[in-house]
Amino acid sequence: MSWHTNAIFYELYPRAFADGDGDGHGDFAGMRQKLEHLQWLGVDCIWLTPFYPSPLKDDGYDVSSYYGVHPAFGQLEDFKMAVEEIHRRGMKVIIDLVMNHTSDQHPWFKEARRSKDSPMRDFYVWSDTQNRYRDTRIIFLDTETSNWAYDEGSGEYYWHRFYSSQPDLNYDNPAVREEMLNTIRFWLDLGIDGFRIDAIPYLFEREGTNCENLPETHQYLQELRRFVDQHYPGRVLLAEANQWPQDLLPYFGEPGAEEFHLCFHFPVMPRLYMAIAREDRESVVRIMTETPPIPEGTQWATFLRNHDELTLEMVSPEDRKFMWDYYAPESRQRLNLGIRRRLAPLVENDRRKIELLHSLLFTLPGAPVLYYGDEIGMGDNISLPDRNGVRTPMQWSNAENGGFSTARPDALYSPVINDPVFGYTQVNVESQREDAESLLQTIRHMVLTRKNTAVLGLGRLEWLHDLPKETLCFWRKDENGAFLALHNLSARPITFALPEFEPGYEDLLKTGEIVRETIALPAYGYRWLLPR
């Protein structure tokens, strides 16, 4: 079994994690000093969000050079030292690769927009009208009105799926495809363990389609994977494709035509929150039932939150309305087709629900991806624009700036959360490490227990259907054994009979306790049981 199929991932925002040089921005030097926390937590692989040179109009997802480090994060040397330290501590690291588009400040685009005859013109997608590819949806609905932007200087429109400051690369151009392989080679040569690849459904455009998931895109991704397997065997690729499960399946590829080792499972995420809000397992059971089996050696990457809005693209309009009404009653909490809040505030800081969601994350199929700060129940800052409110400085201690930086508070890239409930004096790593009952300690206990329970990697899922709809109970089974996960999605205690098993079950989280016959789950309770 390859490591990635049963790994715990941790999404780390370098700007937000730890500031080593006191300039108010997180950097690689600061990160190095804090890796002990992740090792202690049981993280197997860190995912670093973009740290490339960038004007930071989309927080680094607007790359202006693929071959360097934004000066705020340090130098390439600092990156290498961080990678070394991650490896020394027994963890792996994957980095974000933003291959669909560049920043408009990338030298390629600056040159391409100089004139219609520029030798770089064909690196991007141009048109003299906005009428091409009209069946393509707009993703950043709150800011963009078209996927075309007019370039005054050269008198044509260029194509962009995200902000107009992020022109899409033209993958029909072999030189672009080649450049991307060079980029991949550069970073893999530095010893990283793989990539999380951004926005992959949109690489190619074809008239008469929605310009997503095209056969040409799959072909190129297969070429990319062959390149990685041939020159860097063992490195992994994780796909960010916000799509339905049946459209995601092809991104794993097939034997002989592989694509990704892991794909994020976007549709299950909002349904976990929906199930708790409705006290009904139905939406989760349905989406998991609609999730096709995936090829051997691949895995879903599952998550509760990430650095973006909690996306509601993969739910019906009725469900979206329900989720907005329930979890984002104020319009400023909404963004595009999603909700720009962190996990703890979403569930009103109800410890029981935070734990319940994590229990689902760790026991349902998939490799869990934690988002920095959620392990201590960090809050958000809704007064900040865009998604910045869920990207505030990590809260390490009750020292000034939450221990994130020694800079003057007004020099920080973002204010530290400082409200009475989620502020750094209440919520921080240091105090939760000292407290055996803290959320951090509970999540760590779940992480370590999951890592010791091999069946949770690839074990097949079997539902317990005969129980009340307020429960979400299932087996995971394979040659490693069986595991029974019990969840109460409701605010009322529920008692029910366990599937018969002689002599009983061992409660894995409360080590040693044996459970027989009936079980009483408190409101939002959960149990992890192993037949004995």
Report the catalytic residues. 198, 240
- Indicate the SS3 state at residue 504: coil
* Binding residue for ligand NOJ, selected from 9, 10, 28, 61, defined by CB under 6 A: 61
> Is 412 near ligand NOJ (CB under 6 A)?
no
Residue with nearest beta carbon to ligand NOJ: 61
Q: Is the peptide bond before 50 cis (omega within 30 degrees of 0)?
A: no
Least distance between ligand NOJ and beta carbon 237 (Å)? 16
What sign does the dihedral 441-445-447-451 (CA atoms) show? positive
Strand partners, 526: 487
48 or 456: whose CB is closer to ligand NOJ? 48
> Is 386 near ligand NOJ (CB under 6 A)?
no
261 contacts 237 by C-beta, under 8 angstroms: yes
Binding mask 64-103 for ligand NOJ (x = CB under 6 A): ----------------------------------x-----
Residues 159-178, interacting with ligand NOJ (CB under 6 A) = 162
373 contacts 306 by C-beta, under 8 angstroms: no
> Is 52 near ligand NOJ (CB under 6 A)?
no
Both tokens of 414, joined, read 């973002």
Q: How many C-beta neighbours within 10 Å does residue 284 have? A: 22
Binding-residue total with ligand NOJ (CB under 6 A): 9
Least distance between ligand NOJ and beta carbon 167 (Å)? 12
Least distance between ligand NOJ and beta carbon 114 (Å)? 25
Strand partners, 465: none
Least distance between ligand NOJ and beta carbon 2 (Å)? 25
Residues 244-263, interacting with ligand NOJ (CB under 6 A) = none
Least distance between ligand NOJ and beta carbon 100 (Å)? 7
Q: What is the dihedral of CA 217, 221, 224, 228, to 10 degrees?
A: 170
* Binding residue for ligand NOJ, selected from 19, 85, 104, 198, defined by CB under 6 A: 198
288 or 304: whose CB is closer to ligand NOJ? 304
104 or 308: whose CB is closer to ligand NOJ? 308
User: Of the candidates 490, 532, 525, which has an alpha carbon nearest to the alpha carbon of residue 359?
Assistant: 525
DSSP letter (8 states) at residue 471: B
Q: Which amino acid is at 317?
A: P
Distances from the Cα of 44 to the Cα of 37, 91, 164, 367, angstroms: 12, 5, 36, 10
98 contacts 61 by C-beta, under 8 angstroms: yes
57 or 451: whose CB is closer to ligand NOJ? 57
Least distance between ligand NOJ and beta carbon 381 (Å)? 17
As a whole number of angstroms, the distance between CA 271 and CA 526 comes to 18
50 or 379: whose CB is closer to ligand NOJ? 50
As a whole number of angstroms, the distance between CA 13 and CA 16 comes to 5
56 or 81: whose CB is closer to ligand NOJ? 56
- Indicate the SS3 state at residue 363: helix
> Is 199 near ligand NOJ (CB under 6 A)?
yes
Q: What strands lie across the sheet with 526-531, from one edge to the other? A: 460-463, 474-478, 481-487, 526-531, 505-507, 514-515
As a whole number of angstroms, the distance between CA 327 and CA 22 comes to 37
214 or 515: whose CB is closer to ligand NOJ? 214
73 or 162: whose CB is closer to ligand NOJ? 162
Least distance between ligand NOJ and beta carbon 307 (Å)? 6
* Binding residue for ligand NOJ, selected from 151, 308, 375, 470, defined by CB under 6 A: 308
User: Between β-strands 262-264 and 299-303, what pairing exists: parallel, antiparallel or unpaired?
Assistant: parallel
Least distance between ligand NOJ and beta carbon 193 (Å)? 20
> Is 10 near ligand NOJ (CB under 6 A)?
no
In the complex, which residues of this chain contact ligand NOJ (CB under 6 A)?
A: 58, 61, 98, 162, 198-199, 240, 307-308
